[in-house]
Amino acid sequence: MSASCYSFCVRRPIRPAFNSVQAVVSRGACCVCAQARNVKAKKPAAGSKHGNSGNTSGLGHDTEHAPVQKTVPLVSTPADADLEQNEGKFFDAVVKVYCIHTEPNYSLPWQRKRQYSSTSSGFMVKNEEGQRCLLTNAHSVEYHTQVKVKRRGDDQKFIAEVLAIGVECDIALLTVKDETFWEGVKPLSFGPLPRLQDAVAVVGYPIGGDTISVTSGVVSRIEVTSYVHGSTELLGVQIDAAINSGNSGGPVFNEVGECVGIAFQSLSGSDAENIGYVIPTPVIQHFLTDFRRNGQFTGFPVMGMKWQRMESHALRSAYKMKKEQKGILVRHVQPTYETAKHLKPDDIIMRFDGIQVASDGTVPFREKERIAFNYLTSQKYSGEQAVLDVWRDGQDVQLTIHLMRPRLLVPLHLANADPSFFVVAGIIFTVCTEPYLLSEYGAEYMSEAPVKLLEQLMHGERLEPDDQACLFYLCVVVLSQVLACNATLGYEDYCNVQVLKFNGTPVRNLRHLIQLVASCPDHYMRFDLAYKEVVTLQTDAVKDATASILELHSIPAAVSKDLLALLPELQHVVPPAAATAHAANS
């Protein structure tokens, strides 16, 4: 079986851990916060059904030749007291995070799903202004309705406020207003990026117990890594220390007690063992600096292009490159990015800010190491410039480009926002996103979802600059489902199909569709869909049908909260009573 990111938990024998502290060595999970969905405490984590029962006896596999255990004095020695005091300085800054989540219901976007709880880890730090705050994982507090934190050895939980969530880098910034929470604890300090085989210790509150847990290991690999929660690729550190459900957001220490990263995911499967991943300090500092500059997380910029390696000698010769020249070939530049004003297809990028780009798409990284080229762009901030040395038509050209956040036609996440929707009679319109496809078709959506929506997800792009009159970026509007009523008779089986045109006008986004419907002077409303299907409604019947649907299905209004400003324009298609009721509820 290939390795996957779905979790399971296996208890294994006790062994000496980092800094002479004993720890339970166990295997971890991707996005490893321990979730409780109507499950009693201390049950196996979701995913233990894979059949990995493990050895829970505390003995090694070879019990016949097990070494004889030495007798340890029960009286504490001064050395023991010093060790415990030393560790306490760091461990006291590690907290347990309790979160209540309420996720959107993408099938019924005006509702939320049943709430569930999770526990994870976090730790205290100080920002550059000296303000105290907490760091944890973004997936630990996604769609939170309440977040509480508890210190080590304390019986009181404190209400925490979420200041910022960086979905791409899977980091969240929290604070606690109660001053007693911070008393007597020294925040952790960050250390440098570790090196291969450096000893590390993962500290947190994983499943299997209520007290703090420590597991140890070494750094196995440092490279650009896939961040599963944010569907992006950033610098990551692979370690062989155990990362279990509940370790999410906990600090990873080096040998001198500095925090060198945040535990956030691990790889599981029959061909993967003890592969855990850590968010390193450069990514953490990028998140904190971004928040300090902008008051919010603005993300990691990209160049907005597709490229290919130039390892083929024939390919380099065809582009008249000299023997000593190296670089990557630009295949395509997305037209809505700033890069498109300067960079062209068939350009060869040889240097990025003076750093040589090799023909295999890597750049130098520390001593005798190389790393993927996109590491350089991830070190920048949105709006910053980069200087490219390009080989174009047999000549050297130097370009200055502006980097910007990704603008995807089908967003990979909603940054913890609620999905937008629009109700016309019984037709529910919404925006196609990756979470929407996951909700509709499950984990196998890449093989189960309609091929035209998958094509937009994998290869779709904006082909023109954003129209400021439409306010929203160009996106894929889908007919999610049709709620039965007289006005939609015969269309009840339509679902999950893209809306292409309204009365002959191409639909740019959901706000644009609402404006078109609101200003429709025609006797009929015609929606042209993918697969050349057509839905036609009588304009006069839409208003009454919409009012009936809103009341029957307890829908607060015909549009989502983010589109409330358009309600006055919809008076002839949306009942005023529904709009008034929704405004009162808001």
CATH 2.30.42.10 describes domain 305-402 = yes
The residue with tokens 């971004």 is 290
- Residue 43 CB contacts under 8 Å (≥ 6 apart), including other chains: none
Of 249, 255, 140, 109, which is closest to residue 195 (Cα–Cα)?
Answer: 255
- In the chain, which residues have pLDDT < 70? 1-33, 35-88, 270, 463-473, 566-586
- The DSSP output letter for 275 is E
- Residue 301 CB contacts under 8 Å (≥ 6 apart), including other chains: 377, 378, 380, 381, 382, 383, 384, 403, 404, 405
> Which pLDDT score, from 0 to 100, does residue 87 have?
63
CA–centroid distance for 414 within its chain: 9
Q: Is the dihedral of CA 448, 452, 455, 460 positive or negative?
A: negative
Task: Give the C-alpha separation, 346 to 528, whole Å.
Answer: 37
> Which pLDDT score, from 0 to 100, does residue 131 have?
87
Catalytic residue chosen out of the listed positions 101, 118, 121, 139: 139
- The DSSP output letter for 206 is -
> Which pLDDT score, from 0 to 100, does residue 312 have?
95
Judge whether 329 and 310 are in contact, CB under 8 Å: yes
Task: Give the C-alpha separation, 53 to 27, whole Å.
Answer: 12
> Which pLDDT score, from 0 to 100, does residue 473 have?
63
3-state secondary structure of 112: strand
What six digits make up the tokens of 466? 């954003």
**Is there a shared CATH topology between the 1-57+83-297 domain and the 305-402 domain?**
no
Task: Give the C-alpha separation, 476 to 457, whole Å.
Answer: 9
CA atoms within 13 A on the CB side of 28: 32
> Which pLDDT score, from 0 to 100, does residue 11 have?
27
Other CB atoms within a 10 A radius of the CB of residue 247 amount to: 33
What six digits make up the tokens of 564? 């409330």
Topology of domain 421-585 in CATH is N-terminal domain of MutM-like DNA repair proteins (3.20.190)
Catalytic residue chosen out of the listed positions 170, 198, 290, 347: 170
> Which pLDDT score, from 0 to 100, does residue 23 have?
33
The angle, 0 to 180 degrees and rounded to 10, between the axes of the packed helices 576-585 and 539-552 is 40
Q: Please provide the distance, in angstroms rounded to a whole number, between the alpha carbons at the two ends of the chain.
A: 49
Catalytic residue chosen out of the listed positions 140, 248, 378, 560: 248
Query: Is 170 a catalytic site residue?
Result: yes
Of 434, 431, 438, 429, which is closest to residue 457 (Cα–Cα)?
Answer: 434
- Residue 106 CB contacts under 8 Å (≥ 6 apart), including other chains: 419, 430, 435, 436, 439, 440
Q: What is the CATH number of domain 1-57+83-297?
A: 2.40.10.120
Phi, psi of 573 (to 5 degrees): -120, -20
Q: Where are the domains of the chain?
A: 1-57+83-297, 305-402, 421-585
Beta-ladder partners of 479: 429, 497
> Which pLDDT score, from 0 to 100, does residue 35 have?
66
